[in-house]
Structure 1
């Protein structure tokens, strides 16, 4: 009788990129000099469509070789960025629902770096991540499409005290998406 081989251990997690501790809420007041996103130029009626368009663009980002490879130890791979974008959609869908259901809720803090480490973004496969990202994008896009005209100014607070309306939260969310595709393009040079 042979003894079964032990299951292979997951490889050691790579070093985490430097945590992003910037307060990006300034992108609501002026264009981002890096990715070019301009929140004020966005037609609110197109927010859901723009979220969907961004999700479709990740298909090209995750196509081809090297999408699980980091360009350097301190920069996520395209697949790790896609995992983050998927989870951003999930978090924002929860926040929109909370803002529509409660009066000025405070959002739970979300530590994106802890999520990346705990969920081992570095081990996820692009062919699994892409449909999850597209599904999460569709859920939050549908939420934006369904916001009643009189609810866009409903407020919510981030744990650091930053105040958002449903409108500004959606615009802030869209910047995150646009900026991360810009990040990936730079990392693949």
Structure 2
């Protein structure tokens, strides 16, 4: 069975807490985005090493196992989080360099297939994820003053400021820690 594409518009997480993972974007001070991202990336590093697993053996091989055929494995989620970090680094740079940019569309499900997420090496993915998260955290740390209010949008019309983009982004890696059983509600 293949993964059913997620077609939800998750921008609502900017207004209310996520009922699944508990993440409350509106409660995160913008200055905390980089530190929270780095802490989350460190948790992902542990997940991908097999150290942090629930419901099964704590082995590197366990990260390759899907809990159900229609749900990504921790490795596949880790690849996704790495790629989301990369995508949002580009979006942050675009927001800071251009006036009212429109972000290029990205099909996360097509990226998973094309990137052969399930076949990647967990240790390499962990290192790449931590590096991508550090780059994005560095980008947010460099934002000052009025830059936090710079705006851009997705092709579907969803509007973001630099600040709301950071909060919106941070939900993704946190939520996926919940998906793999690391965070409990």
Larger radius of gyration: 1
Name the SS for the 1:108 alignment partner. Answer: coil
Cα distance in 2 for partners of 1:89, 1:43 equals 19
Report what 2:138 is aligned to. Answer: 142
State which drifts further: 134-143 or 38-47: 38-47
Cα distance in 1 for partners of 2:47, 2:126 equals 10
Say whether 1:159 aligns with 2:145: no
Unaligned runs of 5+ in 2: 51-57
CA apart distance, 1:60: 2.2
RMSD: 1.0
1:4-153 matches, cutoff 5 A:
15-62=1-48, 63=50, 64-65=58-59, 66-153=62-149
TM-score by length of 1: 0.89
Unaligned runs of 5+ in 1: 1-14
In the TM superposition, structure 1's runs of 4+ consecutive aligned residues that sit over 6 Å from their partners are: none
Cα distance in 1 for partners of 2:16, 2:29 equals 16
Cα distance in 1 for partners of 2:15, 2:29 equals 15
Q: Is the 8 A contact 1:107 1:159 kept in 2?
A: yes
Report what 2:170 is aligned to. Answer: 174
CA apart distance, 1:61: 1.2
CA apart distance, 1:177: 1.1
Which string of whole-angstrom CA distances, capped at 9 and with x for unpartnered residues, describes residues 55-78 of structure 1?
Answer: 000122122321111111101110
Cα distance in 2 for partners of 1:119, 1:59 equals 19
TM-score by length of 2: 0.91
